[in-house]
Amino acid sequence: MPDQRVLVHTSLQRLRWGDMDMLGHVNNTVYFRYMEQARIEWIYALANGQGYDGGHGPVIVNASCNFTVPLVYPADVEVRMYIGDPGRTSIGSYYDLMVGGQRYADGAARMVWTDRASGRPVPLPDHVLAPLRAANG
């Protein structure tokens, strides 16, 4: 598959006052929680509300975030989640954190699909790859 990112989920999340730190903006660690929430919503939707589909699901092996504009309360953050760069057992997830149509941050997390019982990697399920296949015709 070509190196292409496909939008798979959008999550609207309200900033909480407690998300901010003493500098008056959302603490850097909280950006990862916003991305995680979007990812969990997508995973649960894939597995019909079960989280792990047939005992298989993703674990994160690395994560990153680029902070462009500080998020400040009050605001609603739109987290757009994309997938791309699939391997045999892993796939990239990418995120744009938006407020009012402006990107405040972007991030990424590499997901490895695993068997929950053994913890061993398993091939990516077809339904995870389906959006990429559809985008490539």
Residue 101 has pLDDT above 90, yes or no: yes
Q: Do 29 and 67 meet the contact criterion of CB atoms below 8 Å apart?
A: no
Supply 60's token pair: 């994160």
**Calpha distance 113→15 (Å, rounded):** 30
> Is 117:55 a contact under the CB 8 Å cutoff?
yes
Tens digit of pLDDT for each residue in 15-54?
Answer: 999 999 999 999 999 999 999 999 999 998 886 765 666 7
Which two tokens mark 42? Answer: 């997508």
- Give the pTM: 0.91
- What does DSSP say about strands 76-84 and 6-14: parallel, antiparallel, or unpaired? antiparallel
CA nearest neighbour of 125 among 110, 112, 137, 108: 112
pLDDT of residue 2: 46
Average pLDDT of the residues of the chain: 92
CATH architecture of 6-135: Roll (3.10)
